[in-house]
Amino acid sequence: DAGVIQSPRHEVTEMGQEVTLRCKLISGHNSLFWYRQTMMRGLELLIYFNNNVPIDDSGMPEDRFSAKMPNASFSTLKIQPSEPRDSAVYFCASSLSYSGNTIYFGEGSWLTVV
């Protein structure tokens, strides 16, 4: 299995631009997590989905952030408009949804907003 695949791995964009981060889940997994990691705030859970349905988006910073699962194996995290404080590493992770299962992380998307 290829694991969780994220793209792009690195992105530098100007403030105000739209950013779209993409994630492909491991085949057969039905839970999807988006995390953000910064030095200041550590690893924050932004949103998670179960069977394509958003379960908890309380970690999404503000309305500029949105996440979707157009199908069972793919998700996007969009930031519009982007701001310098959005600079972080964004991780996508997937698992089987019942308790006690390992969460598998992608390698992250490194976002810099200048």
Partner 1 sequence: SQQGEEDPQALSIQEGENATMNCSYKTSINNLQWYRQNSGRGLVHLILIRSNEREKHSGRLRVTLDTSKKSSSLLITASRAADTASYFCATGGYNNNDMRFGAGTRLTVKP
Question: Where along the sequence are the contacts to partner 1 (CB under 8 A)?
Answer: 4, 31, 33, 35, 42-43, 45, 48, 50, 55-56, 91, 93, 95-108
8 A C-beta contact, residue 31 and residue 45: no
CB of 81 to partner 1, least distance (A): 27
- Nearer to partner 1 among residue 20 and residue 37 (C-beta): 37
- Nearer to partner 1 among residue 19 and residue 46 (C-beta): 46
Q: Is the dihedral of CA 24, 29, 32, 36 positive or negative?
A: negative
8 A C-beta contact, residue 78 and residue 65: yes
